[in-house]
């Protein structure tokens, strides 16, 4: 964890079962040298007492918007001026909704309105509430307004459900929160990345897919986050843990990926299409398992073309910087250049997927970055290093555009 020594940290505690972990967050913040003040919502007091957090932080806990004991009864302004950073942990679905609509009807929401520095949220809620479109919309709005996010994690929940929505452990939260004080080259930028394969159902038990593992897209997400970007990752089914400080949207089919991209593309500064999106899906999905004829006859499966998501993004009127990947088995550069032109991209990353040691489901990759003006070969190396260089290249180009 990066040092928080001499930083003034305001911890907002809202009403969820994970509020008991706030005590540990206060303890770790103090241990790392930060001064801590705590603001609690009314419902947070049902889960943990102000006295506990007061004893651990060494400061009076604030709960009221109109507090006669605070300077000129304007506790929210005083707290907003005092804080270097605000961490809200746990952040309930209700708090996220209220913050996204700019409400100022309690002390915590008012302080966040009056505060100019980094604010991070550690969401904690039931998995269905987390997945709900309204929560995702509210969160997305906050992310595009420079709020940071720590988690949530996946696993067993207090209510017995399993899935995304669990608050991260205190040290995991503080690891992410402390890095929000560093400014990277993509600081303040919103980046949307698609990753992994799609699955196109044929019947209830079969689908068409490909060998994408998601490694390339996930390491790009890590590299963009390291450079201070706010990342939304739309991912097909893969077996990798996503970075905890980005908004992850899980999809299965190309249509679901396309819908999710359309839902989140507004306000994005960069779009990176790493996903191996199926070009076709079965024209008809059977309701029950297809039985074999058993007479050695062949079976014809009719396919229909899926929408080209990358092309949709590059044709938007107010488009982000658009990056596509080209997975080619022959004529690598020629085919990639055609895609750059045809899909009207700013950058295409060409990889030769006929070589088993790079491309699909491998630890390494070798790529050529192609724009209208230049070509740059990034020699074979692991996907983490390649990703860092791709992100550096992209940030260089968007910073040039802005100057």
Residues designated as active site: 159
Instruction: Outline where 44-182 has alpha helix (H).
Output: 50-57, 75-82, 93-100, 107-114, 127-131, 133-143, 170-179
Q: Which residues make up the interface to ligand PMT (CB under 6 A)?
A: 194, 196, 212-216, 254, 273-277, 279, 306, 308-310, 324-327, 339, 351, 353, 359-361
Look at residues 306, 316, 366 and name the one whose alpha carbon lies nearest to residue 343: 316
Cα 215 off chain centre by = 15
Collapsing DSSP to helix, strand or coil, 9 comes out as strand
Closest CB to ligand PMT among 147 and 360? 360
The secondary structure of residue 358, as a DSSP letter, is B
Residue 9's DSSP bridge partners are: 36, 85
Give the separation between CA 193 and CA 234, rounded to whole angstroms: 6
Instruction: Print the SS3 string covering 293-319.
Output: CCCCCCCCCCEEECCCHHHHHHCCCCC
Look at residues 274, 190, 248, 258 and name the one whose alpha carbon lies nearest to residue 224: 190
Give the separation between CA 388 and CA 180, rounded to whole angstroms: 19
């Amino acid at each position: 964890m990066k040092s928080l020594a001499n930083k003034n940290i305001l911890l907002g505690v809202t009403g969820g079962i994970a509020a008991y972990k706030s005590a540990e967050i206060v303890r770790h913040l103090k241990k790392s040298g930060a001064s801590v003040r705590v603001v609690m919502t009314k419902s947070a007091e049902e889960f943990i007492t102000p006295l506990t957090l007061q004893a651990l932080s060494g400061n009076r806990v604030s709960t009221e918007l109109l507090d006669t004991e605070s300077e000129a009864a304007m506790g929210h302004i005083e707290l907003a001026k005092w804080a270097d950073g605000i961490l809200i942990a746990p952040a309930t679905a209700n708090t996220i909704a209220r913050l996204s609509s700019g409400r100022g009807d309690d002390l915590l929401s008012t302080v966040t309105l009056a505060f100019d520095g980094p604010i991070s949220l550690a969401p904690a809620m039931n998995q269905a509430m987390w997945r709900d479109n309204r929560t995702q919309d509210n969160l997305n709005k906050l992310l595009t307004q420079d709020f940071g996010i720590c988690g949530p994690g996946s696993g067993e929940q207090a209510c017995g459900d399993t899935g995304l929505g669990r608050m991260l452990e205190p040290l995991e939260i503080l690891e992410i929160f402390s890095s929000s004080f560093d400014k990277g080259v993509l600081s303040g930028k919103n980046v949307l990345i698609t990753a992994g394969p799609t699955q196109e159902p044929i019947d209830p038990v079969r689908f068409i897919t490909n060998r994408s593992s998601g490694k390339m897209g996930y390491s790009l997400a890590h590299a963009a986050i390291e450079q201070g970007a706010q990342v939304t990752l739309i991912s097909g089914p893969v077996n990798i843990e996503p970075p905890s400080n980005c908004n992850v949207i899980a999809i299965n089919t190309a249509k679901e990926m396309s819908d999710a991209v359309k839902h989140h593309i507004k306000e994005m500064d960069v779009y990176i299409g790493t996903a191996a999106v199926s070009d076709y899906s079965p024209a008809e999905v059977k309701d029950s398992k297809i039985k074999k004829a058993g007479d050695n006859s062949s079976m014809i499966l009719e396919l229909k073309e899926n929408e080209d998501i990358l092309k949709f993004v590059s044709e938007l009127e107010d488009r982000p910087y658009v990056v596509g990947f080209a997975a080619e088995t022959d004529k690598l550069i020629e085919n990639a250049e055609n895609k750059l032109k045809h899909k009207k991209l700013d950058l295409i990353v060409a990889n030769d997927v006929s070589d088993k040691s790079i491309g699909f489901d491998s630890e390494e990759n070798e790529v050529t970055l192609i724009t209208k003006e230049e070509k740059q070969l990034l020699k074979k190396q692991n996907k983490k290093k390649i990703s860092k260089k791709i992100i550096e290249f992209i940030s260089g180009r968007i910073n040039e555009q802005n100057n």
